Chains A and B, each alone.
Chain A
């Protein structure tokens, strides 16, 4: 599904990613771990096409298509979704209008007619339940006045609406209490199918307890230095990153 080959990325002339290669197949959940500044968020931003990052070398293909040639909205339409580390507040744009614009843009891309208003609102109601998102929140402006936990739930709600095939969760667990984490993680799991994959960026094991990754990668200094099974996350939880650093001779 997602194929990253020898990716080098700079921001403002400084190289952040120094040759990252990664393959995510249909149905797989990959965890990406690493300390602050390792380049995890850079990788997720580059996959979704954030304009601040410059790809100097390498390639990313998604279902065989060259992703780097697409603008952010095309990538979204192709089925890539980023759950933001810090979801943006957009005062004055209601959740309903926002979701409808996103939904209908995707349908247009797929050659479908816009969704009828009644059908759309019904869908919103159904999907809201997955993350127990209050109706009041759905009627407000996008993320405006939402608590940290509500913002993250709102991200998963949007994921439920847009049904992406590849979801990137960028520290979706940060700032969540135990209950909110459970709601978000269970919500995410309800949305999984054999065709959907995920790349989960996290510092902690507790989210992975729910999501049960197939593969765990460790990113240090802009390179993936270790890839292993789910047991690696547990080892990191116990021992930190230093041993991996030593093992890699860094």
Chain B
């Protein structure tokens, strides 16, 4: 049986159950997504955007799904021990794909701002959700979109109405939790209306020693003159496969910082597509990857300059050790008419062992004639001269290596606007390099505690 067949069978047999436990807005797109998936199947590695990840192999194993929405008992606070209280956030939990209603922050959000289950949002705000859901993450564009659209029953909804600024960062801890090997299909909808401001921090954890396969499709809408900072931090374990597709659309004069850090994982394939739809919009994409052992991390980005006078900056850095494999493919597209675009793309990588492999592919495609764009990529080893210099000063070789790796990654972290998070990430990255992060370690690395 090929990898697709079990999903085709699953949907054919369970479509009513899936729909019954979800919302009409989500259900409306399922059949079409199913058709797309049935026709196209999983992309082979000949498909440009999937060159570096064997999708079918990742989806081939037999995972359980929680389609009937059984309550999985977990007290997030039991598994989520905080050790740094200095980052004060509004903290929410999503267990697998279910928003945890019991664990809600005490501090209330500004009026009109919503952070809730997507399912509930689809019932309470059907017009709003219906207007945006599925409009960016098209099923025919991508197999993961198709699969997620046909199977996802819930997820998270974040809404900041016009002109509202959410001062306190919103932190969402995604917890993968199961007693059997589990597939999770999670959906995210983030809407910032005109002039709205928010900072979102997503921390992905896997707390059980099970195999997880998680698909996550995020649609992010940044309205005119809105400002978004969105951070994703993955600290799962070697048994976790993550397929994340994030679509961001930005209107005029908006700005966004999108930051993706992979500290601990199994296989991760993160696609990030940003559309600069309105003029004078700006985006900064940061990515940091630390991988060793058998970890695989594939980041695939597209920054689409659709309007004039937009700016994009992109910096991804990888430190690979052991037999880790990293891939970065970043495409910057400047469309006809997108004059005065400014774009800078950099991917720098460090292979600290002989077996580590890095594939780097910066791409620049320009159809306008008055633009300023650059792209570059490096793959190298630790600087032997620097290592010897440090050892001559008495710094043990292992420590010297660590300092160099840490320094290399520092550049990605230093650009993070949120200072408390930046400090925390410096700490976590150092701890990661020192081998101090367990395979999730019961979330003790989390960034916040309200209690």
A interface residues (Cβ-Cβ under 8 A, vs B):
48-51, 71-73, 75-77, 81-82, 84, 87-93, 97-98, 101-102, 105-106, 109, 141, 158, 162
Contacts and interface: CB of A to CB of B under 8 A. Distances in A.
Contacts of B406: 92-93
B394 A90 contact: no
A101 B388 contact: no
What 8 A-B pairs are tightest by C-beta distance, nearest first? A92-B407, A76-B394, A102-B393, A72-B391, A88-B389, A93-B407, A105-B394, A92-B410
A81 B399 CA distance: 19
Contacts of B383: 88, 90
A185 to B, nearest CB: 21
A91 B411 CA distance: 10
Contacts of B388: 50-51, 72, 88
A48 B392 CA distance: 7
10 contacts: A50-B388, A71-B391, A72-B388, A73-B395, A87-B389, A91-B407, A92-B404, A92-B407, A101-B390, A101-B399
B70 interface: no
B396 interface: yes
A90 B392 contact: no
Nearest to B393: A102
A105 B399 contact: yes
Contact count band on B: 20 to 34
B59 interface: no
Contacts of B392: 48-49, 72-73, 75-76, 81-82, 84
B23 interface: no
Given A76-B393, A105-B394, A162-B393, A98 B399 contact: no
Contacts of B390: 90, 98, 101-102
A205 to B, nearest CB: 27
A109 B394 contact: yes
Contacts of A49: 391-392
Contacts of B407: 90-93, 141
A81 B391 CA distance: 11
A88 B396 contact: no
Nearest to A89: B386
A76 B392 CA distance: 6
A23 B195 CA distance: 76
Nearest to A72: B391
A133 to B, nearest CB: 16
B433 interface: no
Could you tell me the dominant secondary structure of chain B's interface residues? helix
Interface string B372-415: 00000000000101101111111111011001101110110000
A93 B406 CA distance: 8
Contacts of A72: 388, 391-392
Contacts of A88: 383, 385-386, 388-389
Contacts of A77: 394
A105 B404 CA distance: 16
A158 B390 CA distance: 11
Nearest to A100: B395
Contacts of A91: 407
Given A92-B407, A92-B410, A73 B385 contact: no
A21 to B, nearest CB: 24
B386 A105 contact: no
Given A50-B388, A93-B406, A105-B394, 18 more contacts: A49-B392, A51-B388, A72-B388, A73-B392, A73-B397, A87-B389, A88-B385, A90-B383, A90-B389, A90-B404, A92-B408, A92-B410, A93-B404, A93-B407, A98-B403, A101-B400, A102-B395, A162-B394
A73 B390 CA distance: 8
A71 B395 contact: no
A51 B389 CA distance: 12
A170 to B, nearest CB: 11
Contacts of A97: 403
Contacts of B385: 88
Nearest to B405: A92
Nearest to A143: B389
Contacts of A141: 407
A158 B395 CA distance: 13
Question: Which interface residue of B394, B395, B408 has the most chain A CB atoms within 10 A?
Answer: B394
Contact of A105 (B396, B408, B410, B411): B396
B414 to A, nearest CB: 9
B244 to A, nearest CB: 28
Contacts of B403: 90, 93, 97-98, 101
A92 B383 CA distance: 13
A47 to B, nearest CB: 10
B370 to A, nearest CB: 34
A93 B410 CA distance: 9
A90 B396 CA distance: 16
A72 B386 CA distance: 13
Nearest to B398: A73
A28 to B, nearest CB: 22
Interface in B83-130: none
A62 B392 CA distance: 16
A75 B403 CA distance: 20
Most chain B beta-carbon neighbours within 10 Å: one of A49, A76, A81, A141 = A76
A183 to B, nearest CB: 21
Nearest to B411: A92
Nearest to B407: A92
Given A91-B407, A93-B404, A93-B407, A73 B389 contact: no
B393 A71 contact: no
B404 A73 contact: no
B407 to A, nearest CB: 3
B388, B392, B395 — most chain A CB neighbours (10 Å): B392
